[in-house]
């Protein structure tokens, strides 16, 4: 079994495959990318650092198609530059982010815009000092926006690297060293994007298409690719939420949330459940939670409630959970 033959550690990974012809491998990778890469993605066709940065933040925990087709274009239409974003109110930013989830991303995006105003730093360490920018996002900005010779390690690239070297270790430093070994320093941006697309399109978690892979000849893990994608099952928490619905003609009562889950957003007021006032219920998934949401008729809105006309709902910060609830009633 391959597992018994290959057990790398941080020393062994330096570098059993020095004799591989990196130049040919890099050329094959870029040839594949130029033909099959996702060049249609709008953030791939710009040198605007702000637009690239925005895409990286939106793509965290969100499917590419949703970002490309819905949120990215409408957000840029409202905030076309970093300065425009910096000058906006947080409520406006959250409203433009409504439905995308993980709202701390939007708040950190806004904070970073206020700190930078017109231009993001070009230095990796300086980028790490900004709100919401971690190791991956900083390296992605340096590579995709500034064309720097730096390794980018997202989930897709990590999977490619682990299989390529037959690495069973998830240690970030080991993966970074391994990826650095094959980095194309003449075209680092295209190289990183190619690895990313390779992981997304061919070197998938299940049933990878090794026959079409440009790295197949040198790949050390292709015989048992499933060894390098074993992950722990996510433990989900169940939770019941109870909301009151109070409507006056064309207006609905909403309150500003204070909890960590949807801080700063507007939501239906919470209530104690009364069966005689029950309207309906639905299921909703949010991060590690599996929610059962129950809606109840509310005779009187709380004093702190804001009355919002139905025609204005698209202009205020609402989570996808609240949007779903309002659509049901």
Residues found in the chain: 329
Task: Provide the 3-class DSSP secondary structure of residue 83.
Answer: helix
Strand pairing class (237-245; 289-297): parallel
Identify how many contiguous H helices and E strands the chain contains and give both numbers. Answer: 14, 7
Catalytic residue among 47, 56, 126, 223: 56
Q: What is the spatial order of strands in the sheet that 289-297 belongs to?
A: 237-245, 289-297, 278-286
CB neighbourhood size of 234 (10 A) = 7
91 tagged catalytic: no
Long-range contacts of 216-219 (CB under 8 A, 24+ apart): 218/17, 218/20, 218/25, 218/164, 219/163, 219/164
Handedness of CA 67, 73, 75, 81 (dihedral sign): positive
User: Which class for 124: exposed (0-12), middle (13-18), buried (19 or more C-beta within 10 A)?
Assistant: middle
Catalytic residues: 56
């Amino acid at each position: 079994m391959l597992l018994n033959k290959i057990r790398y550690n941080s020393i062994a990974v330096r570098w059993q495959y020095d004799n591989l012809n990196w130049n040919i491998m890099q050329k094959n990778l870029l040839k594949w990318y130029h033909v099959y890469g996702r060049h249609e993605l709008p953030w791939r066709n710009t040198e605007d650092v702000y637009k690239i940065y925005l895409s990286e933040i939106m793509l965290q925990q969100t499917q590419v198609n949703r970002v490309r087709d819905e949120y990215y274009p409408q957000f840029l239409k409202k905030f076309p530059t970093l300065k425009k974003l910096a000058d906006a109110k947080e409520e406006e930013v959250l409203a433009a982010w409504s439905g995308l989830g993980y709202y701390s991303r939007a708040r950190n995006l806004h904070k970073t815009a206020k700190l930078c105003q017109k231009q993001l730093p070009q230095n990796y360490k300086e980028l790490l000092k900004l709100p919401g920018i971690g190791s991956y996002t900083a390296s992605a900005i340096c590579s995709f926006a500034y064309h720097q010779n730096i390794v980018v390690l997202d989930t897709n690239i990590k999977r490619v690297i682990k299989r390529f070297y037959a690495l069973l270790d998830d240690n970030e430093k080991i993966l970074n060293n391994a990826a650095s070994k094959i980095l194309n320093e003449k075209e680092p941006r295209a190289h990183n994007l190619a690895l990313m697309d390779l992981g997304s399109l061919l070197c998938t978690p299940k049933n990878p298409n090794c026959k079409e892979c440009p790295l197949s000849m040198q790949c050390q893990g292709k015989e048992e690719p499933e060894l390098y994608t074993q992950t722990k099952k996510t433990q989900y928490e169940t939770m019941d939420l109870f909301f009151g619905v109070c409507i006056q003609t064309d207006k609905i009562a909403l309150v500003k949330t204070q909890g960590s889950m949807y801080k700063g957003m507007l939501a239906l007021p919470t209530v104690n459940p009364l069966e005689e006032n029950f309207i309906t219920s639905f299921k909703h998934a949010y991060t590690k939670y599996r929610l059962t949401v129950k809606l109840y008729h509310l005779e009187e809105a709380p004093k702190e409630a804001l009355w919002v006309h139905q025609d204005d709902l698209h202009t205020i910060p609402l989570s996808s959970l609240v949007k779903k609830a309002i659509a049901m009633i």
